[in-house]
Amino acid sequence: MKKLKLFTGWLFDPIDSASFTVFRVVFGFCLCLFVLQWFQNNWIEEYILAPPVHFTFFGFDWVKPWPGRGMYWHFYGLGLLSLGILFGVWPRLCSFFFCLGFTQLFLIDQAYYENHYYLICLLTFLLSLFPVKDGYIPRWCLLLLRTQFFIVYFYAGIAKCNNDWISGVPMGSMLAARANWPLIGPIFLLPKVVFFFVHGGLLFDLLVGPLLFWKRSRIYAFGAAVFFHLLNFSLFKIGIFPWMMIAGTSLFLSPSWPRGIFRWVDRRTIPTFSPSRWTTALVVGYVSFQALLPLRQHLYQGPVHWTELGGFFSWRMMVNVKEVRAVFFAVNPTNHQVWQIDPREYLNHLQLKQLSRPDNILQFSHFIRERLGGKVEVRANVRLSLNGRPFQMFIDPSRDLASEKRTLQEKDWILPFQP
């Protein structure tokens, strides 16, 4: 009991909020860029309003786009809230409402899932909880953020611990797509360069977290992280993710490091934060949940890179290259009349790519049934190529997917993976 009391007191020790403030500013700027990107590229219309069907997350079918121009006003609101986070105007309140608004956007269609979208949901939730008083925050705030970024790095490394990644096929394919770059393009085809990216990426993700927590290696690990993320930003189209991770990784440095660079004045009065068992339980519960959630993929049979079961929220980043070919058939059970359905008539290019996920295939089958009056059977001919392998059947073509219910359980209509 005494040790628990000491631990709780340690969590509530006041520490300098300078590094946290820099993180909040950079993070808020990244959120502003995200909102602007959606307006500039007309993605609100293309990805949210235009598609007649959205692949919702399980249990969130009720999350729908706003009618009319509601989604545009939704993004205007997100833009204002991101400015509040950036400039520190009611940052906790802005973070809370940004979390709500962004989570709604995130849940509309799982075809647009990105790991950094999920991370934005988590970080804005955390920022809405953090009390800042006279230039100080309780220790648990910084500890929680550091642990969150450690989990992202570590599980990204765990996801790469498989034969496909070690073979270099996924990364080799992604680098080969840059072979037409002027001057440096041919370098990406060299086996040694692919070897460097494959094994360097694996070792970085696995080791950078522990090295950031160790004081003696912290500055070197931070330098490696900056190089790693700038390199990824140069080579791959991954949006604001590298900048978010650089800002998050800076939290492992001394909490007061910005004061020496930006010549901020130290506060003379150190406030106190009253220990709370509820807050301690929240911290422990949150960390435990985030540490265990990526492991749920092991509850399912078959490799996750084939079935995709348990793949969401597991920090699996750039570990697979998939090609999908899908054709659907609607069958009238009365007269056995067959209609061939081309998904390209209904889905945009991102949704088409995500027909490699069983739940999306099932939802599209349900959409076809409803589109045709609800009295048809729907079968799918879906073939996948995983990491350069020959195409193989993914879904049992004899199953009526329109009659299958959405569940989180095993799906016996997924055909076994043939290595």
Residues 6+ apart with CB under 8 A from 207: 157, 221
**Residue 416 lies inside a defined structural domain of this protein:** no
**Residue 398 lies inside a defined structural domain of this protein:** yes
Q: What is the mean pLDDT of residues 330-337?
A: 89
In this prediction, residue 1 carries a pLDDT of: 67
Please tell me the distance from the alpha carbon of residue 66 to that of residue 73, in angstroms, as a whole number.
9
In this prediction, residue 161 carries a pLDDT of: 94
Please tell me the distance from the alpha carbon of residue 115 to that of residue 122, in angstroms, as a whole number.
11
Q: Phi and psi of 325, rounded to 5°?
A: -125, 120
In this prediction, residue 265 carries a pLDDT of: 66
Residues 6+ apart with CB under 8 A from 67: none
Between 150-154, 242-246, 262-266, the lowest mean confidence (pLDDT) is in: 262-266
**Residue 353 lies inside a defined structural domain of this protein:** yes
| 72 and 121 co-located in one domain | yes
**Residue 206 lies inside a defined structural domain of this protein:** yes
Residues 6+ apart with CB under 8 A from 88: 21, 24, 25
| 290 and 326 co-located in one domain | no
Structure confidence at residue 334 as a pLDDT band (50, 70, 90): confident
**Residue 314 lies inside a defined structural domain of this protein:** no
For the cut 80, the answer to whether the pLDDT of residue 260 exceeds it is no
Length of the chain counted residue by residue: 419
**Residue 164 lies inside a defined structural domain of this protein:** yes
| 91 and 138 co-located in one domain | yes
Q: What is the pLDDT of residues 270-286, one digit of tens each?
A: 888 988 888 999 999 99
For residue 353, the tally of other CB atoms under 10 A from its CB is 15
Structure confidence at residue 153 as a pLDDT band (50, 70, 90): very high
| 332 and 189 co-located in one domain | no
Domains held by the chain: number: 2
Please tell me the distance from the alpha carbon of residue 26 to that of residue 316, in angstroms, as a whole number.
24
| 245 and 283 co-located in one domain | yes
For the cut 80, the answer to whether the pLDDT of residue 172 exceeds it is yes
The range of the structural domain enclosing residue 331 comes to: 321-403
Share of the chain above pLDDT 70, in %: 98
pTM of structure: 0.95
Q: What is the mean pLDDT of residues 11-38?
A: 96
| 238 and 358 co-located in one domain | no
For the cut 80, the answer to whether the pLDDT of residue 132 exceeds it is yes
In this prediction, residue 266 carries a pLDDT of: 65
N- to C-terminal Cα distance for the chain? 53
Report the candidate in 149, 94, 86 with the shortest Cα–Cα distance to residue 116.
149
Average pLDDT value over all residues in the chain:
94
| 388 and 240 co-located in one domain | no
Higher pLDDT, 270 or 89: 89
| 261 and 334 co-located in one domain | no
| 280 and 333 co-located in one domain | no
| 273 and 335 co-located in one domain | no
| 289 and 335 co-located in one domain | no
Please tell me the distance from the alpha carbon of residue 293 to that of residue 288, in angstroms, as a whole number.
8
Considering 35-44, 166-175, 230-239, the range whose residues carry the highest mean pLDDT is: 35-44
**Residue 415 lies inside a defined structural domain of this protein:** no
Q: What is the mean pLDDT of residues 150-156?
A: 97
**What is the greatest pairwise CA distance in the chain?**
84
Q: What is the mean pLDDT of residues 39-64?
A: 96
| 290 and 336 co-located in one domain | no
Q: What is the pLDDT of residues 287-311, one digit of tens each?
A: 999 999 999 999 999 999 999 999 9
In this prediction, residue 192 carries a pLDDT of: 94
Please name the amino acid found at residue 230.
Answer: L
Beta bridge partners of 331: 338, 377
**Residue 81 lies inside a defined structural domain of this protein:** yes
Q: What is the pLDDT of residues 207-241, one digit of tens each?
A: 999 999 999 999 999 999 999 999 999 998 889 99
In this prediction, residue 207 carries a pLDDT of: 97
For the cut 90, the answer to whether the pLDDT of residue 361 exceeds it is yes
For the cut 80, the answer to whether the pLDDT of residue 3 exceeds it is no
Please tell me the distance from the alpha carbon of residue 241 to that of residue 233, in angstroms, as a whole number.
8
Q: Phi and psi of 181, rounded to 5°?
A: -65, 145
